[in-house]
Structure 1
C-alpha cells in the first residue's frame, strides 16, 4: 500500500519538475514600448540616427499598406529558443493590425547570432517563410557578419517590403531546384557566424 502511494506521486513530481525546469529557462519578452515603435534596438547595435531612419521607412510602409514590419534587437534570448521568443514577442506586442494579423517581426539575437522572421497569417501568402529565410541568408547575414546591423536590416526590410508588394523576384534557378515552386525549409530562422 505504501509503495503504491509512493509510485503514484512520481508522475506528479516529474511533471512539476519539468514545468519548473522549462519555465526557469524561458525568458519573458520585454514589455511593449510606450509609445509604440516599429524599430526597437534593445541591443544597441545601431546608431540612433540609423534606428530613426529605419523607423521612418517602416512607418511609411505601414501608413501606405496597413501592414507592419517591426524590428527588435535583443542582446540575448536568455536561454529561450528563438522560435518561441519571437512568437511570444509577436503576440504580446500585437504586431500587425488587429483582425488582419498582417505583421512581420524581425528578431535579432546578438549573442546567439540568430535571426527569426515571424510572419502573421495575413502576410504569409506574400511573405512565405522560405523566402524570408532566403532574404535573411543572402541579404542580412553578410552585413551582420561585418557587424553592420543597420545595413543588413535596411536592405533586408527593403527586400521584404518588395516581396510583400509582389516586386521581389526569386531566382528562377532556385524555383527549379525546389520543384514546382515549393521550398520545404519551413523556417524563418537563420544564423550568422
Structure 2
C-alpha cells in the first residue's frame, strides 16, 4: 500500500514538474516536420484544434512566406513572459532569415498570460496595436471562460486574414487604429478630467469662503450682487 502511495506521489510530482517548461526542454514543432508550427505538450488544446492551427500556419507560410509559431503550455520556468517568449523565438529561429518575418504566440495557461513576439520584418504588417486588438478581441474573452481552443482558432484566423492580404484585414486595421487612438489618449483624458474637477472644487470652495465672510442680515457691497438679490426677492 505504501509503495502504491509513493508511486502516485511520484507521478503527481512528475506531472507538476513537466508542466513547467524551460526554453531548452520545450519541444519544437519542427521536430515533427517542417509543416508543423504548434507546440502543445500539456494538451491545453485538443488534437483537432492543434491540427487546424497547423493548417492555418501552413497556409500563411505558403501565401506570405511568414512563419507563425504557437506555444500553448501550462507554465514556464522563469519570471518574465516576454523574456521567455523572446528566447523561444530566437532559439527556434522563427521566420525567414532574409526577411525576419516570424511571429510567435506564447500562451501560459497557469499564469493567465499570452505574449506576441514579432520579427522586424513583421512590424509593418502586424504592428503592436493590431496584435493587441487581436488579443483583446479573441484571446482574452475566450481564455477567461476556459475556451482555449476557440480563442486560439479565432486569433489564428484573424492573423491569417491579415498576413494573406484578404480584404477583411482592412476593416480590422481600421478598427485597430480607432481603438488605438483611445488607448493612446485615454490616460491624458482622465488626467484632464481630474484636473478640471479639482479646479472646479477649488473654485467652489473659494466661493463658499467668500460668502461666509458676508455678515448675516447685511447685503454685500457689490452692486451686481445687490441687483441679483433684489431680483430674487
Unaligned runs of 5+ in 1: 1-25, 181-193
Question: Which residue of the partner structure matches residue 35 of structure 1?
Answer: 32
For residues 23 and 183 of structure 2, the distance between their equivalents in structure 1, rounded to whole angstroms, comes to 37
* Alignment partner of 1:135 is 2:131: no
**Residues 178, 93 of structure 1: CA spacing in aligned structure 2 closer, same or farther, 3 A cutoff?**
same
d(CA) in 2 for partners of 1:50, 1:177: 34
TM-score (norm 2): 0.61
Mapped partners of 1:39, 1:99: distance in 2: 23
Structure 2 unaligned regions, length at least 5: 1-20, 186-233
CA distance in 2, matches of 1:43, 1:126: 31
Q: TM-score, normalised by structure 1?
A: 0.72
Kindly indicate which of the two structures has a greater share of residues assigned to helix: 2
Displacement of 1:41 = 1.0
Count of residues in Structure 1 that have an aligned counterpart in Structure 2 = 155
Distance 1:176 1:78, change over 3 A: closer
Residues 179 and 92 of structure 1, relative CA distance in 2, 3 Å threshold: closer
| Residues 31 and 50 of structure 1: CA distance in aligned 2, closer, same or farther (over 3 Å) | closer
Please give the alpha-carbon distance, in whole angstroms, between the structure 2 residues aligned to 1:178 and 1:148: 26
| Superposition RMSD in Å | 2.2
Whether the 8 Å CA contact 1:87–1:118 is kept in 2: the answer is yes
- For the pair 1:177 / 2:172, whether they are aligned, the reply is no
Tell me how far 1:177 sits from its aligned partner: 3.0
Residues 115-162 of structure 1: CA distance to partner in whole angstroms, max 9, x if unpaired?
000011111111011220121012111111121112111111111222
Listed as ranges, the matches of 1:1-193 within 5 Å are 27-29=22-24, 30-33=26-29, 34-36=31-33, 37-164=36-163, 165=165, 167=169, 168-171=172-175, 173-177=178-182
**Residue 169 of structure 1: how far off its partner (Å):** 2.8
Is the CA contact (8 Å cut-off) linking 2:37 and 2:70 kept in structure 1?
yes
